[in-house]
Amino acid sequence: MIAVVVNGVSYERAVEPRMLLADFLRYELSLTGTHVGCEQGVCGACTVIMNGDSVRACLCFAVQADGAEIETVEGLGTVDDLNPLQQAFQEHHALQCGFCTPGMLMTGVDLLRKYPLATDREIREGLSGNLCRCTGYEHIVRAIRSVVGRSVVGRSVAGHER
């Protein structure tokens, strides 16, 4: 039995120890925004935020998340109310097929919280653990650049006011 809080909502579920956190989110909680690309921790598509840190949901078992607070892409914003990072992605055409995008966004959130990202080089290094096969990364870097240091009244880049 595990208890998790995901995007502010509490859940209690019985899980098999080997169930990956990514599968727990996708199948048990029907939060399919977190995508699975490799199950090896290389591609970064499954990145979520657990207790304030970006992590690979494919390298974590749901049982390890017992008692944790998890943020997934579904918690950032809604189609009618995108958060500033999501808006920046849209404005800069930072997504094409959208499969890597949830992982990019959650990594972006953690990078913005933890690093100054003073240069594009730093942004690129921060993103180097998230593979994208569509965009060639340029627009993603521009989208994140546009949000760095931006003071957005009433909204944190990293969360969604409820």
Partner 1 sequence: MKPPAFEYLAPRTLEQAVAALGAEDAKILAGGQSLVPMLNFRLLAPSLLVDITRIPGLDNVDDWDGGLRIGALTRHHALETSPLVRDRFPVLHAAMAEVAHLAIRNRGTIGGSLCHGDPAAELPGMVVLLDAQLQTTQRLIPAAEFYDGTLSTVLGADEILTDIMLPALPPGTGWGFEEFARRSGDFALAAVGVLIGGEVRIVAIGANEKPIRLLNAEALFNDASDIDAVAEAAGKEVSPEGDLHGSAEYRCHLVKVLTRRALRAAWERTS
Partner 2 sequence: MNVDARPKIIGAAVQRREDPRLLTGQGRFVDDINLPRMLHIAFCRSDHAHARVLEVDVAAAAAMPGVVAIFTGADVLGTFNSIRATSRMADYYATELPVLAHDKVRYVGEAVAAVVAESRYLAEDAAECIAVSYEPLGHAVDVQANAEPGGPLLHEDAGTNVIVSRSFQRGDADGAMADAAVRVGATFRMHRKTPAAMENRGYVADYDPGRRALTLHSTTQVPGIVRDALEEMLEIPGNRLHVMAPDMGGGFGGKASLYPEEALVCLLSRRLGRPVKWLSDRLEDLLTTTQAFDEIVEAELACDEEGHILGLRADCLGDVGAYSVYPWTAAMEPVQVVSFLPGPYRVSNYRARARAVATSKAPTGAYRGVGRPISAFVMERLMDMAAAKLGLDPLEMRRRNMVRADEFPYKSASGIVWDKCGFMECLESVTADYDALRRQQAAARAEGRWVGLGLASYAELTGLGSRIAVAPGMPVNTGTETATIRIDSTGAVTAHFGIASHGQGLETTLAQVIAEELGVRVEDVEVIHGSTQGLAHGTGTFASRSSVLAGGAAIITARAVREQVLKAAAHMFEADAGDLDAAAGEIFVTGTDRSMSFRQLAKALYSEMGRFPKALREQIELQATRMYDPYFGTTSPASHLAMVEVDPETYGVTILHYGVADDCGRVINPLIVDGQVHGGVAQGIGAALMEEVVHDGAGQILTASLMDYVLPTAVEIPSMSVHHVEEFLPDNVSGFRGMGEGGTIGAPAALANAVSDAVGEDINVLPMTPERLYCLLNRDEE
| Torsion region of 5: left, alpha or beta (phi above 0 gives left; psi -120 to 50 gives alpha) | beta
19 versus 63: smaller Cβ distance to partner 2? 19
First to last CA, the chain: 28
Torsion angle defined by CA atoms of residues 27, 29, 30 and 33, in that order, rounded to the nearest 10 degrees? -100
40 Cβ partners below 8 Å, 6+ apart? 58
Instruction: Please identify, among the stretches 69-77, 109-117, 143-151, 153-161, the one whose residues bind partner 1 according to the rule CB under 8 A.
Output: 109-117
Contacts with partner 2 by CB under 8 A: the residue count is: 60
For partner 2, which residue of 5, 11, 28, 39 counts as binding (CB under 8 A)?
39
59 binds, among partner 1, partner 2, none (CB under 5 to 8 A by kind): partner 1
Contacts with partner 1 by CB under 8 A: the residue count is: 31
For partner 1, which residue of 110, 117, 132, 147 counts as binding (CB under 8 A)?
110
